[in-house]
Structure 1
Amino acid sequence: MAHAKIKKGDEVVVLSGKDKGRTGTVTKVMPKEGKVVVDGINVAARHRKPTQENPQGGIERKPAPMALGKVAIADPKDGKPTRVRFELKDGKFVRVAVKSGETIDG
């Protein structure tokens, strides 16, 4: 089984699209679809008709999934995007930022 490079709770930087350069926290990862949901990024608006549950109706905004390749982990040192590699430390694999060499978890 391959290790996940991006996990729920990670701070990521958007590399392309309308939100390029913005940072956010990963709220959901969908590895089978190759998508990730980032809080406050790629927000989609859905116009809802009034119903019995929601008699007011209105515009519902929520973050939509985006491709995993459009985001990169934010370097713990300076917050800029970085790649991730795995190193064996104390018998455990830990994620390490390629740019700075800082460990991301563990």
Structure 2
Amino acid sequence: MSHIQPRDFALLTDRDVDHTCVSCCGDEDFVLLRCRHCGHIWLECYECSTWFVNLHDLSQTVSSFISDPSARLACPECAVAFDDFNHLADDVVDAYLPNRDHVAAAGFGHFLVDGRADP
């Protein structure tokens, strides 16, 4: 069962990510994220708080762990801060997830379970 529960069913969740495309901490709880400001798409392992910030080069990672509720993560591309501390919480997660069209336009359909980027 998915841990990510957007209100908009067109948005991609952890169930949509092909977990064989990348290796991380062993749990491979991945979700694709998208910046609403610049459109950058990256991958998060929400089990160990690792961001794969360049999907063309999966060796480029940063930690997304923050513990201070007043702190905010920021887009790894444009550095615009997130509005929310817990960006994967059900009531705000829609603002941070891409849909299939976003993933297709960025050329990352191979990260999806069915290998397709079309709706």
TM-score by length of 2: 0.28
Q: Which has the higher strand share?
A: 1
TM-score by length of 1: 0.31
Give the number of the structure with larger relative contact order, counting CA–CA contacts within 8 Å between residues 6 or more apart: 2
Q: Which has the higher helix share?
A: 2
Bigger Rg, structure 1 or 2: 1
